[in-house]
Structure 1
Amino acid sequence: MGYRVAVVGATGNVGREMLAILEDVNFPVDEIYAVASRNSIGVEVNYADKRIYCQAIDDFDFSKVDVVLMSVSGAFSKEWSPKIGKQGPIVIDNSSAWRMDPDVPLIVPEVNPDDASLARRKNIIANPNCSTAQLVVALKPLHDAAKIKRVVVSTYQSVSGAGKAGVDELWDQTKAVFTLGPTEPKKFPKQIAFNVIPFIGSFNDDGYTDEEAKMWNETHKMIDPAIKLTVTCVRVPVFVGHSESVNIEFETPLDEDEAREILRDAPGVLVVDKRDDKGYITPKEAQGEFAVYVSRIRNDHSAPNCLNMWVVSDNLRKGAALNAVQIAQLLHERGMLERAHA
């Protein structure tokens, strides 16, 4: 017997991925509903071999569903997630609205599955930031083996992390460069085509951006608050797939060969690490895949107990839609999804 599932924000990039992944992983679905704002009433989306039509969130009865996958803005989620949770279903929210709420678990199933036991406090589970999700999948098994002391991360984040408008801007600007047309930025603060932008989100008083702060705050919540983490987030002209250059300092020795074997056995990780000119993964190859890929694992000769590695994943999948569906699978496996009465 399957569940009744609602996808809120079903017309967006991540919402559509959620629908696709529910089918890909054979999540037990009896009924599926696409929900969005009034502007999207009647918009057609696909699930399995059928078309479903968006319903307005204002009119939708959430008491008839068991689990809700949310891909909306933080402000929208702040308004709607508590209302939906009070009607019974567990909300798995992809926005930043609930990640640091002490009564809301922030979950990556490969990293902290036991935190799902806290889900009924507010009937909300938070999905981490896309760049954090892939990072913690790679860090957690190493932290378990040789406690992590400090991490230095530089991200190379694709434009799809900024939604459809980001993808459209890269596409339009790229065409414009070749036709000598205008390339004025709209979604991004500067031209993204054939460029990189060392700024994502908004500046905090300390000079870091809120995107960078999300990564260390969320890593602390999911793995260990004692880990020192510093981040520089960069937007790059790639359509899909986030990459990260990661330097890790451990409290005890862990060499590259040990790390490689640990990561090969870790859930959700695929190691592609050969010492040749094609022995690594790029975001293009990670696109459409479920795994977090780790390459370029090597000792850091400049400091003791340190390693470098390269971490790549599809940000629309593991960084967003896939992780949300995996949380739903985790709840199903642990018997935490209560079926609503017909």
Structure 2
Amino acid sequence: MGYRVAVVGATGNVGREMLNILAERQFPVDEIVALASRKSLGSEVSFGDRTLKTKDLDTFDFTGWDIALFAVGSDATKIYAPKAANSGCVVIDNSSLYRYDADVPLVVPEVNPEAVEGYTKKNIIANPNCSTAQMVVALKPLHDRATIKRVVVSTYQSVSGAGKEGIDELWDQTKSIYNPTDDKPARKFTKQIAFNVIPHIDVFMDSGETKEEWKMVAETKKIVDPSIKVTATCVRVPVFVGHSEAVNIEFEEFLDADEARDILREAPGVMVIDKRQDGGYVTPIECVGDYATFISRIRQDSTIENGINLWCVSDNLRKGAALNAVQIAETLGMRCLKKG
């Protein structure tokens, strides 16, 4: 037997990707429904070789449905996720709304699969921020071996992390560079994104860090280990899909770069491409459409006693959002919602 699954926000980038991945991974679905806001009512989305017409989220009754994958913003999630959860449907939420709630597990299945069992407190499981998800997949196996003290990460995040508006703005501005009469001022981003980088994602906080940077700190502590110190600088770059990260890790114990490479080669969800030659590393354009988190440029940091540097790349619409949500559903099914 399979599950009755609802995909909320099915017409958005992440919602469509959720449907694609559910089909690709042959998730055991008995019945599936695509939900969207009233303005998208009747729009068609693909699920494998099937075409689904979206139904109205506002009037949908979640009673009798097993799992709801939410790919809408926090405002809509705040309204509809409790309705689904109170109807007995387990919500897997991609927004930031519940990530820091002590009664809601924050899960990356390769890292803390056992945490899904905490869903019963609110019938909700949170999906982490895209930049956090790919990083912790790389950190966890290294932490298990040598205990991480501190992480310094600089991110290079694609415009798809800002949704369709971000993609459109990069596309339109890039075209306008070659047509000076067709000026495309910044709207989604604070400055021009085409041929530029912007050290600002989400809102500024009183501490001077942006909320995106704060998320990476708080979520890494919740998912991996609260004792890990993390500092982040998050940067938006003119790439359509695929987040990259330069990660510096300080350990309690010495870890040789060769051993770190071997550990990561065996780690779930990780693909190591690390040749010390031209092109012997992975870039964002090469990770698009892939499930893996790619690790390259693994090397010793000689400026500290027990340090490693690495380069981490992943498709943010997949591992950073839709794939991780589907993996949570798979883990939930195996551990908690077994069907006879």
Q: Same fold (TM over 0.5)?
A: yes
Superposition pairs of residues 123-134 of structure 1, within 5 angstroms: 123-134=123-134
**How far apart are the structure 1 equivalents of 2:129 and 2:5?**
23
Equivalent position of 2:221 in the other structure = 220
Superposition pairs of residues 106-125 of structure 1, within 5 angstroms: 106-125=106-125
Q: Percent identity?
A: 63
Equivalent position of 1:276 in the other structure = 277
Superposition pairs of residues 239-278 of structure 1, within 5 angstroms: 239-278=240-279
Q: Deviations over 1:169-206 (max 9, x none)?
A: 00000000011120300100100000000000000001
Equivalent position of 2:190 in the other structure = 189
Deviation at 1:154, TM superposition (A): 0.2
Q: CA RMSD in A?
A: 1.0
Q: Deviations over 1:245-269 (max 9, x none)?
A: 0000000000100100000010000
- State the 4+ residue runs in structure 1 displaced beyond 6 angstroms: none
| Other structure's SS at 2:115 match | helix
| Other structure's SS at 1:179 match | coil
**How far apart are the structure 1 equivalents of 2:107 and 2:81?**
17
| Other structure's SS at 1:7 match | strand
Equivalent position of 2:33 in the other structure = 33
Equivalent position of 1:314 in the other structure = 315
Equivalent position of 2:20 in the other structure = 20
Letter in 2 for 1:127: N
Equivalent position of 2:165 in the other structure = 165
Counterpart contact for 1:66–1:337, Cα < 8 Å: no
Deviation at 1:31, TM superposition (A): 0.9
Counterpart contact for 2:173–2:194, Cα < 8 Å: yes
Check 1:128–1:337 CA distance in 2 against 1; reply closer, same or farther (3 A cut). farther
Equivalent position of 1:77 in the other structure = 77
Counterpart contact for 2:297–2:311, Cα < 8 Å: yes
TM-score, with normalisation over the residues of structure 1? 0.98
Equivalent position of 1:86 in the other structure = 86
TM-score, with normalisation over the residues of structure 2? 0.98
Counterpart contact for 2:117–2:335, Cα < 8 Å: no
Tell me how many residue pairs correspond in the alignment: 339
Deviation at 1:338, TM superposition (A): 6.7
Equivalent position of 2:153 in the other structure = 153
Check 1:156–1:303 CA distance in 2 against 1; reply closer, same or farther (3 A cut). same
Counterpart contact for 1:156–1:243, Cα < 8 Å: yes
Equivalent position of 2:138 in the other structure = 138
Deviation at 1:281, TM superposition (A): 0.3
**Is 1:104 matched up with 2:104?**
yes
**How far apart are the structure 2 equivalents of 1:226 and 1:44?**
46
**How far apart are the structure 1 equivalents of 2:291 and 2:207?**
35
Counterpart contact for 2:103–2:122, Cα < 8 Å: yes
**How far apart are the structure 2 equivalents of 1:173 and 1:327?**
37
Counterpart contact for 1:127–1:323, Cα < 8 Å: yes
| Other structure's SS at 1:52 match | strand
**How far apart are the structure 1 equivalents of 2:31 and 2:60?**
14
Letter in 2 for 1:77: T
**How far apart are the structure 2 equivalents of 1:132 and 1:91?**
20
**How far apart are the structure 2 equivalents of 1:303 and 1:148?**
13
**How far apart are the structure 2 equivalents of 1:303 and 1:223?**
22
Equivalent position of 1:66 in the other structure = 66
Equivalent position of 1:301 in the other structure = 302
Deviation at 1:61, TM superposition (A): 1.3
| Other structure's SS at 1:295 match | strand
Letter in 2 for 1:89: C
